Amino acid sequence: MDWIKINDDTYQYDEGGVRFFNTYTDIDHIGSNHEFDEVMMNLSELVNYKLPHPSQKIIPVYDGDIIDLGRRELLAIALPGHTPGSTALLDKKSGMLFSGDPIQDGRIFMFGEMRDLSAYIHSLRRLEKYKNEIKGIYANHGTIPLDFSIVDKLIDGALRIERGEITPTEAELFGKTIYVYDVGVAKILGDCKALS
């Protein structure tokens, strides 16, 4: 009942038990991590992640790794920007992309430490090479499934933010003043320092 490393970029699931993969480690995504002795994630997330118990094993997953579930293979696609180690999983059989938070039609958090709008744009552009494989995008928040066309719209919106073409509105969230950039298909939440 463990992950077996097949080679440098492939893990195969050894029958039994439930395994856990974090697309990233913001607080709303790690609430049940303490229930698992092993957690899979991109190691770039360790700057944000605090081990829920000292014996928890972190299984590293990098861009291009394959998680072999037996009858199903998941391709890890790193999408840094929202967080340093944001990683999506592409089910190669069904074409479902489990995107985490970077691709959605809700609110995309880009405020606080280690958020990078330029890296986010670059990550979304990298998805173009998977366009014909992705049949639907399953985000953690908002509408599911989403069509791949949202990726181009998010890139366009993020570029307009970088160029200063979108005037944000102020809002309060978690006791902080944030700035809401409405890009049409989603709202990107940031602080002026990080996004303008």
* Residue 1 pLDDT class (50, 70, 90 cuts): very low
Q: Which CATH architecture has domain 3-195?
A: 4-Layer Sandwich (3.60)
Domain ranges of the chain: 3-195
Q: Pick 158 or 15 by higher pLDDT.
A: 158
What pLDDT is attached to residue 75?
97
What's the predicted TM-score (pTM) here? 0.87
Are 141 and 100 within 8 A, CB to CB?
no
Q: What angle do CA 192, 187, 31 make, to 5 degrees?
A: 95
What pLDDT is attached to residue 189?
96
